[in-house]
Amino acid sequence: MKNLYIELIKRISTDKITFLSDVNKHINTDKRGKFKYFYIPYFDEKGVVDFISKLDHNSVYTIIPLISIYGKNEDPHIILSKQILISNYSNPPIVSDFLFKQLEIANNDFAFNFEDNFHYLIFKYKKIIIDI
């Protein structure tokens, strides 16, 4: 079973984004625990690489990507997508490209221009347990 679990986490968000909602309903996921935050000034792919490289090799995480002008929890923010599954094996360019496209949609839909203004990409994340 451990080999199956390792193979699973090696495939999370590697070829395309894997959403938490993609997990089969018959597979138990334990989502208890507190969220943590990782702040990336502007939208820097190096920050995404740094975040992914710091994740535990044998764990799965769920992230909620947010955009905030000042990076303060009490200030308004925009959620860029539903919860994404990610692991240390996830492909940073795949994750960055997806989030950049989501940011472009937010720019168009809300008439914000994040590219010309300072902002933070925030990963609200926590470790989850997938019981296979």
Summarised one tens digit per residue, pLDDT across range 51-85 is 999 999 999 999 999 999 888 888 889 999 999 99
Q: Among 48, 123, 121, 122, which residue's Cα sits nearest to residue 88?
A: 48
Task: Show Cβ contacts of residue 26 under 8 Å, excluding neighbours closer than 6 positions.
Answer: none
How far apart CA 95 and CA 85 sit, in angstroms, is 10
What domain count does the chain have? 1
pTM to 2 decimal places: 0.90
Q: Among 84, 78, 88, which residue's Cα sits nearest to residue 98?
A: 84
Please give the residue range of the domain that contains residue 30. 2-131
